[in-house]
Amino acid sequence: MNTKTIFKTLALAMMMPAMLLTTACSSDDDVVNNNQNTAGKGYTLPVTVKVTRQGDEGTRATYNSETRKLEFSAGDKLFVEGHDESGGPFAGTLTYVSDGNFSGNIATLNEWNSVDDLFNHLDDVIATLLPAGYESYGFLVIESYGQPYTEYLDNDNYGLAVAADKATAIEQFSLEQARAYIDGFALAPQNAIVNFTYKNDGMAAGATWSPVLANKTKSAYYGGSVEMTFDEGGISTFAIAVEKDTDGSEWTLTYNNSIEVSLGNKALQPGNIYNWTNVPAPASPYASLTAEDVGKIIGADGNVYADAAAVEAGGTTALALIAYVGAAGSADASSATYKGLGLALTDANSGNKCAWCSQPSQSAVTCMGNQYDASTNTNDMAGIANTEALIAHDTHTHAAATAARNYNSGTHPTGTSAWFLPSAGQWKKMIDAAGGYATLQSNASLSENRTCWSSTENEAGKAWAYEFFLGGSWYNYPKYYGNYVRAVFAF
């Protein structure tokens, strides 16, 4: 996952967009009610404070796409609250003036002479930046008086912590706070932003959906009631703030139970943007094929044609015969998804015979992890894994497997495996699907009296090959013998 740091200096992490808070105790509500001093109770202290962000000149509020920073702007507000053991609670909202200065009134129970008199001897002071226009969105979790509490400004807005784009999310949901006053407040980022790009080809332009981001360990759910829109390309983008001290693997994204995503296995750092993209590959043109399609032709353009005449009419070249179609995972043991096999219509290795292995005749060695006798050879359905193991062998070269992989210059249709040397079990699948070896021989243009290698090893010095003559049969040929190679791909 790509990460872009929003701020130069990172500190604590927290969750979600900022909002105005009342203080925790019922007695405090007499003093602070929506940040206004209640008439006849307490005092107001005019305050002007300098606010920086960890020493930077600019901080958050408006997203500047050129500098990739959040900057103060007119109307930004700073919500300040705290508690003094002797003097009681205090709170108020200050408004941005200029040059990093915020001014306004702080409501208190006791009379104080100055802001320094109020703040300087306290550690329990929290300043939270509230961007202009975003005071009533989402929720903010704060530790106050040593106890965590959550206050909702507007319950109808709970769950609206989803923005349609990254820039809006940065403005609306980035949370910055300072928890001490030292000649002003130095704000630090408290959460991360996760920017999502999701594609669904089945969605028309303007279609809406309501994604839900859930924290599996904390039972926290965000979104769901907010409708996001798909564009003409079937792409929807949205962004959300993510809580501090959470691991990416704790989060899942769902919609109608059809999407689930992990945001990685590392802590999501405050002040960072994390980009998550789910743009699936185009649907395979072979996904809808069934056993009824065995015998059809796959063209060099990747499309399926009824026969050779249709391929020619389509202006392309016949590439492979649909030789087997079954259930998902039945075509090759190396994959749980491949359900079919496409058999090349011409021989690999320029039509020449080649050896299975380069070992000399007097040197009988095993080349594979598994060997099969005459009663078990057709159980081997791992042609892809066999081919890769033979090509990567560090002692001998394996011409048949290499020729199969390089067939058609290695080019294969989108949505299929690479070309490989079929196992004995895969040869049997194709022969049975055709209704017999003679039909497969005819459909795949396999000339008379030919023997084709499989990727299945018999014993130290031999491998299995299929003889397309005299009724069709298996024979365990010495590996140095020359036999023909027909490549296949799985789909």
| pLDDT reported for residue 388 | 93
Enter the tokens of residue 142. 């704060």
In a domain? residue 81: yes
Q: How far apart are CA 20 and CA 79, in angstroms?
A: 7
| pLDDT reported for residue 327 | 93
| pLDDT reported for residue 431 | 97
Regarding whether 342 and 237 lie in a shared domain, the answer is no
In a domain? residue 283: no
Number of domains into which the chain is organized: 3
Q: How far apart are CA 164 and CA 236, in angstroms?
A: 8
Helix H or strand E encompassing 308:
helix 308-313
In a domain? residue 286: no
Per-residue pLDDT of the chain (491 residues; tens, 9 = 90+): 333 222 222 222 222 222 222 222 222 222 222 222 222 233 444 556 665 543 333 333 455 556 555 567 777 788 887 776 665 667 777 888 888 888 888 777 667 667 677 776 555 678 887 765 554 333 333 333 333 323 322 333 333 457 777 777 777 667 777 887 877 888 877 777 788 888 877 788 888 877 776 666 665 555 555 678 888 888 888 887 776 667 777 777 666 555 555 666 677 777 777 777 776 555 677 888 999 999 999 999 999 999 989 999 989 999 999 999 999 999 999 888 899 999 999 999 999 999 999 887 777 889 999 999 999 999 999 999 999 999 998 888 999 999 999 999 999 998 899 999 999 999 999 999 999 999 999 999 998 889 999 999 999 999 999 999 988 999 999 999 999 999 999 99
| pLDDT reported for residue 357 | 94
Regarding whether 225 and 107 lie in a shared domain, the answer is no
Judged on CB neighbours under 10 Å (0-12, 13-18, 19+), 178 is buried
Q: Which ranges of 174-254 does DSSP label H, i.e. alpha helix?
A: none
Regarding whether 157 and 66 lie in a shared domain, the answer is yes
Cβ atoms of residues 373 and 458 within 8 Å: yes
Regarding whether 24 and 163 lie in a shared domain, the answer is yes
Pick the closest to residue 125 from 71, 57, 172, 78 (CA basis).
78
Cβ atoms of residues 420 and 405 within 8 Å: yes
Regarding whether 296 and 216 lie in a shared domain, the answer is no
Sign of the Cα pseudo-torsion (486, 489, 490, 491, in order): negative
Regarding whether 141 and 51 lie in a shared domain, the answer is yes
Residue 152 — φ and ψ, nearest 5°?
-105, 125
In a domain? residue 225: yes
| pLDDT reported for residue 141 | 34
In a domain? residue 223: yes
Q: For residue 355, what are the domain limits?
A: 291-490
pTM of the model: 0.48
| pLDDT reported for residue 385 | 93
Pick the closest to residue 68 from 131, 10, 7, 2 (CA basis).
7
| pLDDT reported for residue 226 | 64
CATH code: domain of residue 202 = 2.60.40.2630
Q: How far apart are CA 276 and CA 109, in angstroms?
A: 48
DSSP assigned state of 203? P
Q: How far apart are CA 372 and CA 224, in angstroms?
A: 55
Regarding whether 96 and 126 lie in a shared domain, the answer is yes
Which of 189, 218, 234 is the C-terminal boundary of a domain? 189
| pLDDT reported for residue 95 | 84
In a domain? residue 26: yes
Cβ atoms of residues 401 and 486 within 8 Å: no
Regarding whether 93 and 115 lie in a shared domain, the answer is yes
Regarding whether 177 and 303 lie in a shared domain, the answer is no
Cβ atoms of residues 218 and 85 within 8 Å: no
Regarding whether 233 and 173 lie in a shared domain, the answer is no
In a domain? residue 284: no
Which of 278, 307, 341 is the C-terminal boundary of a domain? 278
Regarding whether 390 and 474 lie in a shared domain, the answer is yes
Which of 142, 160, 189 is the C-terminal boundary of a domain? 189
Regarding whether 316 and 441 lie in a shared domain, the answer is yes
In a domain? residue 285: no
